Amino acid sequence: MSDLYDLLDLSRDASSEDVKKAYRRKAREHHPDAGGDEESFKAVTHAFKVLSDPDSRARYDRFGDDGTPSSRGAGQDPFGFGGGGFGGIDDVIDAFFGAGASGGGFGGAGARGGGGRRRTQPGRDVLVEVELSLEEVVTGVRREVEIDVARACESCGGAGSGDGAAPERCGTCGGAGQVQRVVRTAFGQLATAAPCSDCEGTGRTVSDPCPDCRGEGRRPTTRTLEVEVPAGLEDGDRIPVRGEGEAGRQGAPPGDLYVQVRVAAHRLFDRDGRDLTAEVTVPVTQATLGGVLRVPTVDGQEAEVPLPAGTQPGDVLTVRKAGLPVRGGGRRGDLRLLVQVEVPTRLDAQQRDLVARLAELRDEETPAEGSGLFTRLRGAFQR
Ligand SMILES: [Zn+2]
Ligand SMILES: [Zn+2]
């Protein structure tokens, strides 16, 4: 018998929320509908059952497991491993966690989750993307975003009824917003709730639907919103704008808008957290003698960077605080410059003589016959 914590990839101090999350993940992975095998599915379900109940978890922690999934009779198992077909994984998970548990996230039109809806189902959340340049990450920026989303119908004030009457209880579901249905699962029969199609899960209908929104209380619109994008955001960050998502049906609360940031690649700089990196190429003479480099920064300024005499290819020069700001303020990151050294390829006679003279003064042989070649190669790999 495997360790129940191991089965769910959990540590011994996992919270009950961790247990739920782990089970949801594992159940999806092992559910036969998703190509998993039945034994593994039963095993993780058993682990969840033991670990999700504080009493049985405490008993397991002290005494270990007292039964394997296969040795337990269906009668003592509340989920009834009765065999037969499997229900959809969402049905199973909803049955454990309550309707709607498997839903969530961002949906397309009407794409919210597989579970039932609560009576005052809010409008959906909406995700839009904005692309920022690295320069805009430094300064922060105000951006206009265009969103296609349903907003409250102005004709009926969002209530959905043409005569202004408040919505009434739906006759089909009795106002519950859900209809019960029975599915066959690995555990036997489960009663699950599905959203009522007549009222779309709200439990309410209007007798005199508003002609402009057909009783929905909301209409499709295209809107432009101005969004404040703070400095220091990273690729994939989301800015929440409360209440600017889809309007709820018949006056239910609206969802939220999320503005997701995408940071465009930069011509010169790569991002490494709050640091920036770039390559600079200097002539071999300058690397040898040293000097001062003038490099552009992401602010559109120039920074002067001391280049030490004898700088080697692969050395890194750091310009403090020329990186990116951190979200919410704090010290800026650095700009790190990787030095490449350019070896001249075309020398005129005079230049060639000078380099030859240099080699002579330094007792440096041409490598064709010297044993120094391999020493130098090895040095290159070590860097
Ligand atoms: Zn209904
Ligand atoms: Zn209307």
Please state the domain extents for the chain: 4-81, 126-263, 282-343, 346-383
Same fold, 4-81 and 126-263: no
Q: Which two tokens stand for residue 81?
A: 């491993």
How far, in Å, CA of 275 to CA of 211, rounded?
57
Q: Which two tokens stand for residue 319?
A: 């310009």
Q: Find the ligand nearest to 195 CA.
A: 1
For the domain with range 282-343, which CATH number is right: 2.60.40.2250, 3.40.50.2000, 2.60.260.20, 2.60.40.10? 2.60.260.20
Per-residue pLDDT reduced to its tens digit, 19-63: 888 888 888 888 777 777 888 888 888 888 888 888 888 888 877
Per-residue pLDDT reduced to its tens digit, 203-214: 888 888 899 998
How far, in Å, CA of 7 to CA of 68, rounded?
13
Q: Give residue 155 CA to ligand 1 midpoint distance, Å.
A: 24
Q: What is the mean pLDDT of residues 125-153?
A: 94
Q: Is the pLDDT of residue 270 over 70?
A: yes
pLDDT score of 277: 97
The residue that leads in pLDDT, 83 or 345, is 345
pLDDT score of 78: 36
Q: Give residue 193 CA to ligand 1 midpoint distance, Å.
A: 12
Q: How confident is the model at residue 287 (pLDDT cuts 50, 70, 90)?
A: very high
Q: Give residue 243 CA to ligand 1 midpoint distance, Å.
A: 25
Q: Give residue 245 CA to ligand 1 midpoint distance, Å.
A: 24
In CATH, which superfamily holds the domain spanning 126-263? Urease metallochaperone UreE, N-terminal domain (2.60.260.20)
CATH of domain 4-81: 1.10.287.110
Q: How confident is the model at residue 374 (pLDDT cuts 50, 70, 90)?
A: low
Q: Which residues of 214-249 are buried (b: 16+ CB within 10 A; e: fewer)?
A: ebbbbbeeeeeeebebbbbbeeebebebeebbbbbb
Q: Is the pLDDT of residue 102 over 60?
A: no
Those residues whose beta carbon sits under 5 angstroms from the ion ligand 2 are: 153, 155-156, 210, 212-213
The amino acid sitting at 341 is: V
Q: What region does 64 belong to: left with phi over 0, alpha with psi -120 to 50, or beta?
A: left
Q: What is the mean pLDDT of residues 283-289?
A: 96
pLDDT score of 80: 34
Q: Find the ligand nearest to 171 CA.
A: 1
Those residues whose beta carbon sits under 5 angstroms from the ion ligand 1 are: 170, 172-173, 196, 198-199
Length of the chain: 383
| pTM for this prediction | 0.56
Beta carbons of 87 and 190 less than 8 angstroms apart: yes
How far, in Å, CA of 89 to CA of 103, rounded?
12
Per-residue pLDDT reduced to its tens digit, 184-241: 777 777 777 888 888 877 788 888 889 999 888 999 999 999 999 999 999 999 999 9
The residue that leads in pLDDT, 242 or 88, is 242
